[in-house]
Structure 1
Amino acid sequence: MAEKPADSRKNLKNRTKLVHAGRKPSEQSGFVNTPIYRGSTVLFPTLDDLLNRRMPFTYGTQGSPTTEALQTAWTELSGAKGTVIVPTGLAAIAIALLAVVKAGDHILVSDSVYRPNRNFCDTILKRMGVETTYYEPLIGAGIEALIRPNTSVIFLETPGSQTFEVQDIPAIVAVARAKGICTILDNTWATPLFFQAHAHGVDISLEAGTKYLSGHSDLLLGLVTANEVWYPALHATYDAFAMCPGPEDVFLALRGMRTLELRLNEAQRQGLAMAQWLGGRKEVLKVLHPALPSCPGHEIWKRDFLGSSGLFSILLAPCSQQALAAFLDGLELFGMGFSWGGFESLVIPFDCKTYRTATPWAPQGPALRFSIGLEDIEDLKADLAAGFERMHATP
């Protein structure tokens, strides 16, 4: 099989790109997958080569053929100038922000972002002299009123973590571009397959490869892509921190990438089916799923997104803590854990009212976030139905 450059794949579908991007069997004795390169030291053949750094990789923190394979593939898939890979999703958030901000800056961050993101802004960035203002996720072009002369970043996450508001990315990007402000997007929920961040004008896009790229709940990883304007600063910041991922994790991410579209499409099908079923239950007051017309920002999702993943939330009718515990503790197929995107189904309760600051959070009853896995949907429904019965039986 002849290997072709990335440019020759421009007109191919993503499903095909995922299979072929980042692979060079001719350089690895014909083996299909890029092997795991472990190591720190790189040897130079001559003094001149060493002094001029005349090797593809100069030290283990600069990457290896394994990391290069994933960087190359993810850059192609994202339509970016380049990619850096870091050990976790939170590390991706940190490196993206640190590539842009400086002491004295002001940044705007969506009120619905991943909670550890807020903690990073409220602790590390605050100590650096960077002020954070949290904004209403559905603000759209109205964000212009919050911009100050020293605003350097608008940080978006769409849909919002836990509460699933869909932001008007093109409207916010237009304001940011006019003001010379960098936009950063956490695109973990959709991945580049369901939302093309750079095509919509976002400067830096990131995600936790821990989730759907992995697909098997067995690694931690973060990926950050940037356009031509911001990639030099991103890469320089990455080099300064030497925040490199483990080679086994990168290898597992490459393996997960080959089946990413197949698994995402199944997650979409399973997630929608479960969301619709839960929406018909009397115990459920509201389903927060961007692909449902009842979800805030649904029309924007329909305009900008190419699909939906298997993560969504529900708001339950009021019930006691004991009843909620009876529902959750007895589930046989849904685990309780703070992640998602794997092959197994998960559920967690959450309450945003202690940390949302720009938008009030006051649901009538408990809120649950579901990650729908690859189990048979009828088995999952039966597990939840039994849980609802336990809930009713518990005062």
Structure 2
Amino acid sequence: MAHSLLTKLSHLGTAPCDEFHPRAPVALPSMRTSTVRFNSIDDLHDTYKRQAAGERIVGYGRMGMDTHAAFEQIMCELEGGSRAFLAPSGLNAISMALLSLLSAGDHMLIADCVYGPVRQLDDTVLRRMNISSTYCSMRDMATLEANIQPNTKLIYVESPGSLLFEMLDLPAIVTVAKKHNLLVVTDNTWGSGIAYRPLDLGADVSVVAVTKYIGGHSDLLMGAVVAKDEAVIKQLDINQYALGFSTSADDVWLAIRGVRTIDVRMKRQAESTLKVCEFFEQQAETLQIYHPAYAKDVNHALWKRDALGSNGMLSVALNFTKAQTKVFVEALELFSIGYSWGGYESLIDMVNTDFLKNHAYWNQNYPSLVRMHIGLESVEDLIADYEQALAKARAVVG
């Protein structure tokens, strides 16, 4: 019987309970090990042979045992992939994908709305390895195509983008990529397989910071790289093993725990976020709301066509001075100041607009931007908190 994704997320990664295991815990235990034992030399050699053929079989603890394998299967189900590789953080996962698929002398195109640390990875490690990059807005396919060079190998995107949640036309980007025989790698942390599935839209690789919505409790760091094409999987497999990526079994166990409730958490947070959008729409200081699931967002049509849901992320451009914005952020009582997201708690960050100078989607005339993550608190309480904080910010002179 075929089951839905939501049903699979409740049953994958559980401890076996059958005629061979008549008593079993609900949750698969965290299986920690550094060393793997073999029954015979023939078994050891068979493991090497099967590993060389690309099979996910454990020869050393770095790859992880049953707990890791269970979560990798869950990530494949979430993202619609055939193989998943785990990394110690989301940025590690990005590094794994790019270092596996690019070589010295290669060039890649990067959407100008990507996660900020990608630029740092590019400026340091990749450039030192003679891998070049061009950043551009990917809203216009003619502009994208014009930036392709003879040595371009890959297009790297994030949709929706970081900070401003700019929804990209991923199917159109994939069409351009296929025309020029390029790979498409996308950061899908925003959608995490529940709200958006880039592999289904034609992307070759999906990178997810498990730290965020999949973990869901702000208590772990992890990343995942998911693909379905055999040639791409082989490149990822060989390189991730050579680079020595390893994740803690306990963190993997926490990720399995978190993914059980990802759907209900994200739906609740998405509902609350739309109410927050409606609140800010009524405020005189609001210049623009950035949340693609909101009907007045300029990218809403793309979101409606390609996405399966939404989450608790939004940014709001405010007609406040920096001093007023600082007062607003610091006056909030239910929001912690922080730049992570995806957990159960509400967070806010006063974005340094210098970080947005290279984003074509940003209106350079806007004086301030706040990025918020809406948690699982009562949305009525959050809105009341906004009201008192806005009143204090309005009272600031100069």
- One fold, TM greater than 0.5? yes
**1:159-194, CA deviations, whole angstroms, 9 ceiling, x for partnerless residues?**
110011110000010111121101001011111111
1:129 correspondence with 2:120: no
1:23 correspondence with 2:14: yes
What secondary structure sits across from 2:258 in the alignment? Answer: helix
Matched to 1:167, the amino acid is L
**1:322-358, CA deviations, whole angstroms, 9 ceiling, x for partnerless residues?**
3222211121100001200111100001134346436
* 1:220 CA displacement: 0.5
**Distance between the aligned counterparts of 1:158 and 1:279, measured in 2?**
24
1:79 alignment counterpart: 80
Contact 1:80 1:198 in 2 (8 A): yes
**Residue correspondence of structure 1 range 82-231 to structure 2 within 5 A:** 82-140=83-141, 142-228=143-229, 229-231=231-233
Relative to structure 2, which stretch is displaced further, 26-35 or 367-376?
Answer: 26-35
**Distance between the aligned counterparts of 2:149 and 2:206, measured in 1?**
23
**Distance between the aligned counterparts of 1:245 and 1:299, measured in 2?**
38
1:41 alignment counterpart: 35
**1:51-104, CA deviations, whole angstroms, 9 ceiling, x for partnerless residues?**
332794211112211100000111122211100011101011110111110000
**Distance between the aligned counterparts of 2:385 and 2:6, measured in 1?**
33
* 1:109 CA displacement: 0.5
**Residue correspondence of structure 1 range 290-301 to structure 2 within 5 A:** 290-301=292-303
Q: Would the alpha carbon gap of residues 247 and 137 (structure 1) be closer, same or farther in structure 2, given more than 3 Å must change?
A: same
2:315 alignment counterpart: 313
1:382 alignment counterpart: 384
**Distance between the aligned counterparts of 1:57 and 1:231, measured in 2?**
17
Relative to structure 2, which stretch is displaced further, 335-344 or 18-27?
Answer: 18-27
**Distance between the aligned counterparts of 2:318 and 2:131, measured in 1?**
38
**Distance between the aligned counterparts of 2:140 and 2:354, measured in 1?**
19
Aligned residues: 385
Q: Would the alpha carbon gap of residues 382 and 89 (structure 1) be closer, same or farther in structure 2, given more than 3 Å must change?
A: same
Matched to 1:42, the amino acid is V
Contact 2:353 2:368 in 1 (8 A): no
Relative to structure 2, which stretch is displaced further, 162-171 or 288-297?
Answer: 288-297
What secondary structure sits across from 1:116 in the alignment? Answer: helix
**Distance between the aligned counterparts of 1:358 and 1:268, measured in 2?**
25
1:257 is aligned, of 246, 256, 259, to 259
**1:282-328, CA deviations, whole angstroms, 9 ceiling, x for partnerless residues?**
12111111012432322111111111111010000132x33222211
Identity across the alignment (%): 37
**1:7-54, CA deviations, whole angstroms, 9 ceiling, x for partnerless residues?**
x53xx2222121112334237652221111111011111122223327
2:274 alignment counterpart: 272
Contact 1:140 1:167 in 2 (8 A): no
* 1:246 CA displacement: 1.0
2:5 alignment counterpart: 14
Q: Would the alpha carbon gap of residues 140 and 279 (structure 1) be closer, same or farther in structure 2, given more than 3 Å must change?
A: farther
Q: Give the gaps of 5 or more residues in structure 2.
A: 51-56
1:32 correspondence with 2:19: no
Relative to structure 2, which stretch is displaced further, 357-366 or 256-265?
Answer: 357-366
Matched to 1:34, the amino acid is L
* 1:224 CA displacement: 0.8
TM-score normalised over the length of structure 2: 0.93
**Distance between the aligned counterparts of 2:265 and 2:299, measured in 1?**
25
1:232 correspondence with 2:238: no
**1:260-283, CA deviations, whole angstroms, 9 ceiling, x for partnerless residues?**
111111111111111111111112
Q: Would the alpha carbon gap of residues 344 and 187 (structure 1) be closer, same or farther in structure 2, given more than 3 Å must change?
A: same
**Distance between the aligned counterparts of 2:377 and 2:194, measured in 1?**
23
Contact 1:40 1:59 in 2 (8 A): yes
CA-atom RMSD, angstroms?
1.7
Matched to 2:103, the amino acid is K
**Distance between the aligned counterparts of 1:233 and 1:272, measured in 2?**
41
What secondary structure sits across from 1:184 in the alignment? Answer: strand
**Distance between the aligned counterparts of 2:153 and 2:357, measured in 1?**
22
1:50 alignment counterpart: 44
Contact 1:279 1:287 in 2 (8 A): yes
**Distance between the aligned counterparts of 2:77 and 2:295, measured in 1?**
33
Contact 1:315 1:363 in 2 (8 A): no
TM-score normalised over the length of structure 1: 0.93
Contact 1:35 1:66 in 2 (8 A): yes
Relative to structure 2, which stretch is displaced further, 358-367 or 33-42?
Answer: 358-367
